[in-house]
Amino acid sequence: MTTRTRSRRGQHHRAAANQRATAFTPDALSVGARHLEVGTEWVSSFAVTGFPREVHPGWLTPLLTYPGRLDVALHVEPIDPATAAARLKKQLAKLESGRRHTAEHGRLHDPHVEAATEDAYDLSSRVARGEGKLFRVGLYLTIHAPSEQALADEVAALRSLAASLLLDAKHTTYRSLQGWVSTLPMGLDLIGIRRTFDTSALSAAFPFTSPDLPAADPTSVAAPSGVLYGYNVGSQGLVHWDRFGPGMHNHNSVILGRSGAGKSYLVKLELVRSLYRGIEVAVVDPEDEYARLAHAVGGTYVHLGVAGVRLNPFDLPIHTRADGRRTAPRDALVRRSLFLHTVISVLVGNELQAAERAALDRGIAATYQSAGITADARTWTRPAPTLRSLRDQLATAGHAGERAAAELAARLHPYVEGAFKQLFDGPTSTAPEGHLVVFSLRDLPDELKAIGTLLTLDAVWRRVSNPAIRRPRLVVVDEAWLLMKDPSGADFLFRMAKAARKHWAGLTVATQDTADVLGNDLGKAVVANAATQILLRQASQAIDEITQTFNLSAGERQFLLSAERGQGLLSAGTQRVAFQSIASPTEHYLVTSDPAELAGYAADADPIGESDDEQSFVDLGFADQQAYAADGDEFGSFGAEDDLDLDAS
């Protein structure tokens, strides 16, 4: 390459860089004592010199939700421990000297000095114990307006807002240019007015709430509860939402979006963060997307369709309490017998006739009796029989001349000794219990899809309605359009949507096929009974129905048509907020389903960069679950008075 060629290329790069810089440079800049004219805008900057003595988490949120254009810059500089200790020691010496001088001369104590001394002692002890660090913090504000008169009005409103927050905001008089530059996203602090904060005070300065969602208790100053969904697209605040918060009509959620909009990503992100809070989760996974997540957090993974994985429909709903005692509903055996009628109807593929029902009912009773299980509740803890036992009882009755029993026994043969026996050939292989239970249905043969789905939903419902579990629970149904095609699946979603609240549970339904959900009465009932509704990017073919169902405005409609992946509209009652979901690197590794990323992770032995990160993630939040369960007695027994104590005798 010649020198001339390199010179021309360098000139080209410099010209391109200058062109990019010009795009962010104002046409003109006029500097006044207390304001600037930046192009066609008037701006005025403030430095905060006074702060309140006590603050609550997210107390600066009103600044970010100011209705006008307001730039807020928070400059943070850590102070090394040696310097912090020296400064605290010097400050304590000054305060103690002043107190002793006042006492020696018989003067009254200054309450402000007394409060400052107590705070200094408390801060010094926390820093010495390593419970916090010190930081030098500068807070600067820049307000924008289209004219000088409008700027005066905005300045007055901003100073009133700052005064309501007990902030002392001073004009950067004769340093208006430096004040403006200090609020630009360049990390430059040209004002240098700092205040010393400790770790807790600094963390409280960050806004961890969203102004667009109603708080459970607007008068509370406590930190927001619930799950972090992401950041507010409009105000850049963080969007927290607690589906189990007080005042919620129900705990259900529905997530609608086109393929690739980020539905499963958001569902898994909410699932992980719900586990942090001690919420128990059950997942119906038609596409086998939750296996990595279940293994990472120590959950139970029931992979139906794989050899050796079975769910026995004859298992009685025996609940084990925290104290180890086992209970069961008083009509457990009768209800299980009725459920087995449904199971056999699904297996044989049609509704049973009267003679077949009678033969089946006698066969079910004889099957339980052959296993030593009778109407006596003390026998219910014995090992349950299997489908093979029922087939044998029906075959025996058939040999005795019952034609209906013989025909049922013949029709059950493929599920006992034939090609489809892997799902029923033995007792339940994996007990669906734990803080996270995932039922994978993808590898079920088409001939077993219906019965596998029925058994899965039965296991989920038994877990949800278990009165021995005194903690909130979530039931996640991903790709719900697959479940809606099955009548038993649609009925389950309808029942869960209606009755989950009574069991301190919430249903999460995520689907890409909006028509299947909104095109029938059951689907509309599921949506209507979801207090939390999340809409991600929608296809133009479905946006009209979405707009009509959710009463979207023109702006919300356009947002959903052009939203990027992970962006959506969270609706809770009459309140709505546009948000962008965001995950940490470890969370992203656990919840992503991008084939390209998964291939890269498979080729890399340590995808996060730290071999202990995943283990740290697994440990975070789950260590407190035993304590969470132990404290659950205050929430009541949820109908436990109707259960029989199987260990009483």
Output the pLDDT for position 617: 39
One DSSP character per residue, 139-153 reads: EEEEEEESSHHHHHH
Token code pair at residue 539: 């296809």
Output the pLDDT for position 219: 42
Query: Where are the alpha helices (H) located in 473-606, listed in sequence order?
Result: 480-484, 487-499, 514-518, 521-528, 543-550, 554-562, 585-591, 595-603
pLDDT beyond 50 at 341: yes
* Distance (Å, whole) CA 200 – CA 132: 7
Model confidence band, residue 628 (pLDDT cutoffs 50, 70, 90):
very low
pLDDT, tens only, 130-162: 667 788 899 999 999 999 999 999 999 999 999
pLDDT beyond 70 at 607: no
Output the pLDDT for position 23: 54
Mean pLDDT for 395-420 is 86
Q: Cβ contacts of residue 32 below 8 Å, gap of 6+?
A: 176
The residue ranking higher by pLDDT, 587 or 518, is 587
pLDDT, tens only, 267-324: 999 999 999 888 999 998 888 889 889 999 999 999 988 888 888 888 888 766 656 6
Most confident of 6-15, 217-226, 400-409, 629-638: 400-409
Domain boundaries, the chain: 26-79+133-204, 249-308+431-622, 325-428
Contact yes or no for 571/535 (Cβ under 8 A): yes
Most confident of 9-23, 37-51, 529-543: 37-51
Mean pLDDT for 609-616 is 40
Using alpha carbons, list the distances in angstroms from residue 237 to 14, 40, 184, 225.
Answer: 37, 28, 18, 15
Q: How many CB atoms lie within 10 A of CB 644?
A: 16
Contact yes or no for 426/289 (Cβ under 8 A): no
Backbone angles phi, psi at 526, to 5 degrees: -65, -45
Range in 159-173, 235-249, 295-309 with the lowest mean pLDDT: 235-249
CATH code at 325-428: 1.10.8.730
pLDDT beyond 50 at 630: no
Sign for the CA dihedral angle at 55, 59, 60, 62 comes to negative
The residue ranking higher by pLDDT, 39 or 100, is 39
The residue ranking higher by pLDDT, 618 or 80, is 80
* Distance (Å, whole) CA 387 – CA 275: 36
Mean pLDDT for 83-88 is 72
Which amino acid belongs to residue 374?
T
Tell me the whole-structure pTM to 2 decimals.
Answer: 0.65
Report the CATH fold assignment for 249-308+431-622: Rossmann fold (3.40.50)
Output the pLDDT for position 625: 39
One DSSP character per residue, 438-507 reads: EEE-TTS-HHHHHHHHHHHHHHHHHHHT-TT--S-EEEEESSHHHHHTSHHHHHHHHHHHHHGGGGTEEE
Helix (H, G, I), strand (E, B) or coil at 565: coil
Q: Tell which residue, 569, 490, 500, has the closest CA to residue 250.
A: 500
Q: Tell which residue, 418, 462, 416, has the closest CA to residue 439.
A: 462
pLDDT beyond 50 at 638: no
Q: Tell which residue, 264, 239, 243, has the closest CA to residue 253.
A: 243
Using alpha carbons, list the distances in angstroms from residue 48 to 45, 142, 202.
Answer: 10, 11, 15
Q: Using the structure block, give the residue that is written with the tokens 């001339």.
A: 4
Q: Tell which residue, 473, 549, 478, has the closest CA to residue 510.
A: 478
Task: Determine the distance from the C-alpha atom of residue 358 to the mean position of all C-alpha atoms in its chain, rounded to a whole number.
Answer: 48
The residue ranking higher by pLDDT, 332 or 159, is 159
- Helices and strands, counts by H and E, the chain: 24, 21
* Distance (Å, whole) CA 162 – CA 75: 18
Q: Tell which residue, 120, 119, 96, has the closest CA to residue 109.
A: 96
* Distance (Å, whole) CA 637 – CA 316: 20
Q: Cβ contacts of residue 386 below 8 Å, gap of 6+?
A: 312, 314, 424, 425, 426, 427
* Distance (Å, whole) CA 139 – CA 76: 9
Count of alpha carbons within 13 angstroms of residue 419, beta-carbon side: 5
pLDDT beyond 70 at 614: no
pLDDT, tens only, 212-226: 565 555 444 445 567
Output the pLDDT for position 145: 93
Bridge pairing between strands 473-477 and 280-285: parallel
Range in 150-159, 352-361, 596-605 with the lowest mean pLDDT: 596-605
Q: How many CB atoms lie within 10 A of CB 149?
A: 10
Contact yes or no for 360/351 (Cβ under 8 A): no
Output the pLDDT for position 220: 47
Output the pLDDT for position 470: 76
**Helix (H) / strand (E) containing 293:** helix 291-296
pLDDT beyond 80 at 206: no
Q: How many CB atoms lie within 10 A of CB 185?
A: 7
* Distance (Å, whole) CA 253 – CA 105: 68
pLDDT, tens only, 428-459: 888 888 889 999 988 888 888 888 888 888 88
Output the pLDDT for position 42: 93
Backbone angles phi, psi at 189, to 5 degrees: -115, 95
Mean pLDDT for 498-516 is 82
Output the pLDDT for position 268: 92
The residue ranges of DSSP E strands in 251-376, in sequence order, are: 253-256, 280-285, 300-303, 319-320, 326-329
The residue ranking higher by pLDDT, 281 or 235, is 281
pLDDT beyond 60 at 539: yes
pLDDT beyond 60 at 332: yes
Q: What percent of the chain has pLDDT over 70?
A: 79
Token code pair at residue 303: 């992979």
Task: Determine the distance from the C-alpha atom of residue 121 to the mean position of all C-alpha atoms in its chain, rounded to a whole number.
Answer: 40
- Give the mean pLDDT of the chain: 79
Model confidence band, residue 47 (pLDDT cutoffs 50, 70, 90):
very high
Model confidence band, residue 413 (pLDDT cutoffs 50, 70, 90):
confident
Q: What percent of the chain has pLDDT over 90?
A: 15
pLDDT, tens only, 360-371: 899 999 999 988
Token code pair at residue 309: 């994985």
**Helix (H) / strand (E) containing 367:** helix 354-370
pLDDT beyond 80 at 477: yes
* Distance (Å, whole) CA 507 – CA 649: 38
pLDDT, tens only, 549-588: 888 888 888 989 988 888 999 988 777 888 999 888 888 8
